[in-house]
Each structure stands twice: as structure tokens, then as C-alpha cells.
Structure 1
């Protein structure tokens, strides 16, 4: 693959741009986890069943998928940096709204807008992450995704504490939105802009490289599990194990802690062990642990299984995105964007699917789908081998 020359220092040094993009990842993760931590309270406040909640969460997925389709046009018109800032403004404005609606329809409409803002942020953040990598001449995507996980941990921890104190979800989420929006305002000046690149033999827009489809399938499985863990882990602990709302938030916190640890350590571990064995055995062990937890119904075992799941999934996105960048026939950014689009669709479609299955078979059975997906990841790990 032909190397891309690094540009001369611009008005924003790469280190400052890296920190600014990392701040955006953190704020997005913290905002999303804050919403996730209060889902049980929002559901109970409106009186929704699992199926009705799953349908409302599908609106969030639909909004994000729409944003994925429109973000490329938006970046062409506005620029990626401006699109990210506008999406962030909408994201934090809407963040408290799901906690103050009074019906399933209004919740679904609000989540559709929230999902649109979140999807636009996802696409824009990852595009800027690719630009930071290009300027720095080294891999930073794993650490950026680690910052998203760190934000998820912070959001889950604050959400658990707010629930323990009895803080109303609307007040809690409004406070989080103000704090995170302030961080974005401070970081905005150092955000880079994506450098336009043209590739004569690039495939037509909307026609993905067939060699990336296997990597996309891996991302889809991983993000389906991650999305389901985000939206349903607290509900599983509360409903299936009878925990309090505050304790229920520990599930996503355990998952997020494990992801943070592995994402910041993942580069070194995968270099020593190898990405293929790490993904294969990590996901096999996690699938077995989660299956055992669902059968036994023990809180400690379930939390341990959630942590194992976080460890095994944390490295999937970084190594898959890196492989996509190396294999793309056009540019690393094209390969990463193709795989990320498929993967994030899974992240957002997973929660409603779990809700629909839970409506008829119960939450423990629906979580069995996650066991199957991690087993598939273990089987597909060999796809990471260079061809």
C-alpha cells in the first residue's frame, strides 16, 4: 500500500487535534451511557413493556441509520468538523428529552432525533480520527475508542449515583448535557478538518469493496452485542435478578470498565499474543461465561460475565478497523468507514431486537442471542489474517 505523506504543521498541532477528537469521543460515550443508565426509570415512568421499549429504541436506531446515509453529503457541504459540532449541539440538546416525555410515541420521536444526532457524531468523529492518524503517522483509533468507553464508564457511574440519590432522570440528564456541551465548546478550536483526497480507481459511492464484507460482519456481531449490553444490561439485572435501579447500573459499568482497560492495553497485548488468538479465545470464553450466568442467575457471576464480554469485544473494533485500512483498495479511511457503517448499524439495531425477543421469551433467553454472536466472532477471528 502506498504511504501517504504527512502534512506540515498547520494551525492545530496533531497532538492538540488528537486530544480534541478524544474529548469528542469521551463526551459522546458519556452522554450515551447517561441515557442508558436511566432507561429503567424512563420505562417505568411511562409504563412500557419490554416490547414497547424495544419499539421505541428502534426509533433511535432508525434515526442513526438515516444519519449514516446523509452524513457523507453533509460533510461535503458543511465540512466534517462543522457537521460534528452541529450534531453535538443537537445531541446534547435532546439528551434530557426522553426523560420528560409521557408516552411511547413521544419517546420514539425523541429517540429518533437523538439517534440522528448520535449517528452523525459517530461518522464525523471516526472520520476525524482517521485524519488524526494520517497527520500523526501512527495508530490512535484504539485509544480514541478507549476514550468513548471511558466516557461510557463515567456516564454509567454518575447515572448509578444519581439513581441512588433519587435524582429525577430529567434533571440528571440535563446536568450531564450542560457539562458535556461545555467540554465540546472548549475542545472545538483544536478539532482538525478532514483533508480532501481523490483516488482515481476508487469504487463508486455506495458500492463497498467485497474484501471488506467479512470484516463488516465481524463488526456487526461485535456491535450488536455492545448495543444490547448498553440498553438491556441494567434491565436484565433489575428484572431477572431483582436488583435495585442503582445496582442494575453496575452491569453496564462492569462492561465499560473492562472495555476501557482492554482498549488502552489492547495494542500491546495483541502485538504479543496476536490479534487472531486474542479474538478467538477471548470471545469463546466470554460466550461460555455469559451462557453460564444466564443459567445460574447469580449477580456476581453475571457481573463477571459482563466484564468478560467487555474484555473480548473491546479489541474487535480497533483491530478490524486497522485491517480494513490496510486492505482497502482506495484509502484507509474508505475501508474504515465501510466497516464502521455496517458495525454501527448493529450497535443500534441490537437493542430493539433484544426487546422484541424478550417480549415473547424473556430477557435471559434474548441474551442467549449475544452468546451466539460472540461464538460467531470466535469462529470468524481467522478473517483477520492477512491475505
Structure 2
């Protein structure tokens, strides 16, 4: 068995911050474009169905490139893959903002999805590597940083609209900020080769490995992937439809059109800030079950009684409810034995993209046939699916954190 590489406490804390900066920029990148999507839809004269299909190019690109993520990580290392992926993502998003035609917009969004997919796997793989060395759950705090980025991206987009700043100048400024921040994060991440399978299994909770996965890891991985699809459907909805719903069907104007999206990202952040503490005390399964119920109740009421502020509250409930679902899935997948480093995580992340891929065109078709309001019923339906599948996650409860290793 290969001995795991040792790092000092200062190296681990520095790497934790570095990975957090990558998560921050990853959350901010696409979120910066979200408040501008109604403008893009209007400028390109798209129907709801055409708009949903165009947005689906992002998860389609992610699905197309996701198969290569684990190979790239083993070849170049997760820090390099995450940094290059972020740079390419932001270039593609800037191109999408400046797109003069539907074809160019779809191509740019597709390429942004390709880059985002490998960044997503790389950043989560490195985050879990840091977590294993630190010996305590910190994965939700990383995803909280992603939510901070999404919140900042959405808020800055709303501010840019309110001040009359054009799409291209706005996204160009964001691109520079993101590239500088991502470069700083890259330089702080852990050095050295990626851990081998033996190290990953040794660092995982041994009681989970022996009992939770039973004897069929591929069946459990399939169940985790289905749960990830449901979680992705909930997460994606705010980014694609919240702003459009507020502006076209609820009559909200100006920067306030992004209020529901910002509320979803803000509550998403709060859910992930409190996520490690709650998961350690309630277990992943219980947290997912309660979160799914919150999504059902919050969005169900918002759809039943449509109003701007009730919609904001509904999206806030959805954001908080789904906050710990995807991090829990990634942690569970990364701890599974019998796979090369990054493979189980890559498969889960790849299949998660089905939720992002299928949801926009499905909702677009429903919206064209009825309205966006009724199309949003997909969200509480996905919440029910999370409740039903939550049992596949660990019910383990941690009573205390393992201390950070002393400096060597």
C-alpha cells in the first residue's frame, strides 16, 4: 500500500483557501451571465422552447467533455485542470454575451459547458483530497464558496443592468476578475501527484466503505447519479427560469428581476455554510430528506399563489433545501472503493449533467404549451424525488471533528 503524502497544517489551510477560490470563480462565471439572459432571448428573438434548447447546450457540452475529466486529472493534476478549465469557461461565457446569432450563442454556451465540466470534477476531487488530509468534513464549505460566487455574479449582473452597463463590457470586467482570482487559487493548491486508489480508500470512513456500499458499487453509483439528476434539476431552475419568470409573468422590472435568483443563491450559500455542522449531526440521508421537503413546500406555495415576493421566498426555500445534496453525493462517490482515482466522482458528475441538460428544454416546451408558472412544477416534483432517493446516502452521524494534523 502506498503511503499517503503528508502536509503541514499551514499547507492544508492554504490549500483549503486556494480550492475555495476556484469554487468561488466557478460559481461566479455562469451566474454573471444569468441576469443578462432575458436580454439575449429578446435580442435573438427566441421562443421559450428555443431559449430552453439553447441553454441546454451548456449541460450538453458538459456531458460531452465529462468523460475526459478523470483522465486529465491523472495526467495533469487536479489544480492545473481546474485552472485551465476556469480560464476557458470565462472566455466562452464572454463570447456568449457578445453572440450576434443563435448559432454563435449555442456554440459558446456549449464550449462553456465543456470547460465547466472538467473544472467541476477537478475542483471537487482536489477539495476531497484536502478534506481527507484534514480529517474532517469540509466539503459543504467549498460548495458554500461556489454559492458565494454565484450570488456575487448574479448581484453584480443586476447592478450592471441597473447602471446601464452593456453586456459585453460587464462580462469583460468579470472575466478579468475571475482569471486573476482563479490564478491565485491555483497557486495555493496542494502540490504533488494525485493520490492512488489505495490512499483514497484508506482516507475514507472505513465503516462506510464496508457497510454502506453492500456488494454492488455500480448499483449504488447509479442511485447516487439519479439523486444527483434530481438535485441538478432544482439547482438549474433558478439560473435559467427565475429571472425570466419574474420579468415576463410577474411584471417585475429592472434589477429586481434577478431577486428570485439572488435569493436562491443566497440561501444556497447559507445552507452550505451550515451544511457540514448539520450533516455531522443529522447524517446525509436525513438532511437530504428534510431539504427535499423544503423544496416541495416552498416552490409548491410559490406556484399555487403566484406573486413576486412569494416566488423569491419559494426559490430561497429551494436553494436552502438542495444545498447539501450534491456535496453529499460527491463525497459518497469519491469514497467508493473499486474505482480509479476520480472515476466514480467523474461518473456521478457526468450523469448529474442530465438534469441540467433535460430540464431547460422540458420546461421550455411546457412553458410554450401553458406558461412558465406551470412549467415550474418540475421543481417540487424533483424535490419529491430527492425525498424518495435520500436513503442511498449515509446515515452516519459525527459527534466531533478530527483535529487538523500538527505541522511536520
For normalisation by structure 2, the TM-score amounts to 0.86
Alignment partners' CA distance in 1, 2:39 and 2:218: 43
| Matched position secondary structure for 1:25 | helix
Tell me if 1:47 matches 2:45: yes
| Matched position secondary structure for 1:166 | coil
Tell me if 1:236 matches 2:245: yes
Alignment partners' CA distance in 1, 2:101 and 2:12: 46
- Displacement, 1:224? 1.4
User: Corresponding residue for 1:56?
Assistant: 54
- Displacement, 1:378? 1.4
Does structure 2 retain, via aligned residues, the 8 Å contact 1:325–1:331?
Answer: no
- Displacement, 1:245? 3.9
Alignment partners' CA distance in 2, 1:87 and 1:15: 23
Where does the alignment leave 5 or more consecutive residues of structure 1 unmatched? none
User: Corresponding residue for 1:114?
Assistant: 112
User: Corresponding residue for 2:153?
Assistant: 155
- Displacement, 1:165? 1.2
Alignment partners' CA distance in 1, 2:334 and 2:84: 27
Tell me if 1:320 matches 2:329: yes
- Displacement, 1:385? 4.7
Instruction: Give deviations 1:16-66, integer Å, cap 9, x for gaps.
Output: 111111100000101111011211111112221111111211222221111
User: Corresponding residue for 1:36?
Assistant: 34
Alignment partners' CA distance in 1, 2:119 and 2:85: 6
Alignment partners' CA distance in 1, 2:323 and 2:141: 11
Alignment partners' CA distance in 2, 1:291 and 1:85: 39
Structure 1 residues 122 and 282, CA, compared in 2 at 3 Å: closer, same or farther?
Answer: closer
| Matched position secondary structure for 1:161 | helix
| Matched position secondary structure for 1:96 | helix
Alignment partners' CA distance in 1, 2:183 and 2:325: 31
- Displacement, 1:219? 1.2
Structure 1 residues 188 and 220, CA, compared in 2 at 3 Å: closer, same or farther?
Answer: same
User: Corresponding residue for 1:132?
Assistant: 130
Structure 1 residues 108 and 334, CA, compared in 2 at 3 Å: closer, same or farther?
Answer: closer
- Displacement, 1:302? 0.8
Alignment partners' CA distance in 2, 1:231 and 1:350: 9
User: Corresponding residue for 1:25?
Assistant: 23
User: Corresponding residue for 1:276?
Assistant: 285
Tell me if 1:225 matches 2:234: yes
Instruction: Give deviations 1:135-163, integer Å, cap 9, x for gaps.
Output: 22222211111100110111111111111
Alignment partners' CA distance in 2, 1:386 and 1:292: 30
Match of 1:166 among 164, 167, 171: 164
For normalisation by structure 1, the TM-score amounts to 0.90
User: Corresponding residue for 1:8?
Assistant: 6
Could you say what the CA RMSD is over the residues aligned between the two structures, in angstroms?
A: 2.6
Tell me if 1:295 matches 2:307: no
Bigger mean CA offset, 317-326 vs 168-177: 317-326
Structure 1 residues 143 and 231, CA, compared in 2 at 3 Å: closer, same or farther?
Answer: same
Bigger mean CA offset, 182-191 vs 322-331: 322-331
| Matched position secondary structure for 2:56 | helix
Alignment partners' CA distance in 1, 2:298 and 2:126: 36
| Matched position secondary structure for 2:99 | coil
Where does the alignment leave 5 or more consecutive residues of structure 2 unmatched? 202-215, 397-408
Alignment partners' CA distance in 1, 2:383 and 2:9: 44
- Displacement, 1:266? 1.4
Does structure 1 retain, via aligned residues, the 8 Å contact 2:121–2:345?
Answer: no
- Displacement, 1:112? 1.2
Match of 1:74 among 69, 72, 75: 72
Bigger mean CA offset, 377-386 vs 13-22: 377-386
Structure 1 residues 125 and 352, CA, compared in 2 at 3 Å: closer, same or farther?
Answer: farther
| Matched position secondary structure for 1:48 | coil
User: Corresponding residue for 2:374?
Assistant: 365
Structure 1 residues 9 and 181, CA, compared in 2 at 3 Å: closer, same or farther?
Answer: same
